[in-house]
Amino acid sequence: MRADNEPQNSENSLSQEAGTVPNGDGPNGDGPNGEGSKGEASKDAERLGVRVVAFGGGTGMASLLSGLNERVEEITAVVTVTDNGGSSGRLRNDFDIVPPGDIRNCLLSLSDVSPLVEEAFQYRFSEGEFKGHCFGNLFITVLTRVTGSFEESIRQLHSILNVRGKVLPISGEKISLVAHHPDGSKSTGEVQITKSGKPIQQIELRPSPVLLSSEVSEAIEKADYFVFGPGSLYTSVIPHLLVDGIMEAIKKSGKPRIYVGNIMTQPGETVGYSLSDHLSALRLHGGEDFPDCVIAHQGPLPPEMLKKYARRGAAPVVNDLGEHDEFSDVDVIEQNFFVGGDFAKHHSEVLGEVVASCFKVTH
């Protein structure tokens, strides 16, 4: 799913227009250096000799990768592949493939291609049989058929797009999310989960277990830091925690685990959540000592923007960790990540700088 700091931003819930989609399967980008677009300033930043594994999906992950790409020696993005809406969902159903949208965005965030090539990969059709489809998604689908597997198509795209780093799917097979609600009911699929309007008690992956791939396992063993988010709590971040053996491998490494909190709550997932509620959900699925550090937004947002979000049931995520003793061992870093635009998004350069500063302090 898309990052949960945008109001109702899934591509299946908003109409699309022809042209470039800056990032995400919905109208989520906000121009240069916004969340989900590649920044330029970091190219002059000092590159730290650390290996980072980032877990997430949607525009939040794309923003993080854009901000960190030129700041660290090696970055591996592990991406959720559970989307069942929009272009990705249609291709998943029609061609029995892993949904490609979030993978596409992350590859482009770490790519070194001409603006024309990037624009082409993000182009979305507005008419005909391809209406709603993004060219990049179609390209990945074709490449999957040509190479014989989704995972091999992604490996080939690293060369085609001149990707610096690695982008790995959480699984090379189709998987679905199932949400358990307090009333005893269940919702299956990202779209159905967010449309249910019910509080989420717990998330599971199906079919289960989803096995930890050798490539992701190797990246975890070599990593110096792990970063989770920003992005939809239940549909972009928590799914990673449910892969069989992944949290045990991360904990065994002993390396710092950083969670980047969202700026706004998300209708259909985290309505009414404070930052402590986010961490409680993470610990329920990932273990009682997770994470080691939290990066949280702290700063004003335009009143008119807040009204727009409020009409959709979203509000700023309040940092209340200091009020809960169970989180006293979690380091908290606060920063203003909003620098303008129509959505409350993490600015990629600011996000990259703040996350990299954590590496400088502890490495």
Q: CA angle, 173 as apex, 193 and 145 as ends, to 5°?
A: 120
* Domain ranges across the chain: 19-362
Task: Give the other-Cβ count within 10 Å of 128's Cβ.
Answer: 7
In the prediction, which pLDDT does 43 show? 53
CATH of domain 19-362: 3.40.50.10680
> How far apart are the C-alpha atoms of 291 and 358, rounded to whole Å?
14
For 86, list phi and psi in degrees, rounded to 5: 60, -150
State the average pLDDT over residues 143-149.
96
In the prediction, which pLDDT does 360 show? 74
Residue with tokens 């990629």: 348
pLDDT tens, residue by residue, 15-66: 222 333 333 343 333 333 344 445 554 455 578 999 999 999 988 999 999 9
| Count of alpha carbons within 13 angstroms of residue 142, beta-carbon side | 6
**Ranges 8-17, 161-170, 192-201, 231-240: which has the least confidence:** 8-17
Q: Is the pLDDT of residue 170 over 50?
A: yes
In the prediction, which pLDDT does 363 show? 55
Residue 362: band (very low, low, confident or very high) from pLDDT cuts 50, 70, 90: low
In the prediction, which pLDDT does 361 show? 63
The predicted model scores a pTM of: 0.88
pLDDT tens, residue by residue, 197-218: 999 999 999 999 999 999 999 9
In the prediction, which pLDDT does 44 show? 53
- Amino acid present at 192: Q
- CA 21 centroid distance within chain: 16
CA distances from 5 to 59, 270, 293, 347 (A): 10, 11, 20, 12
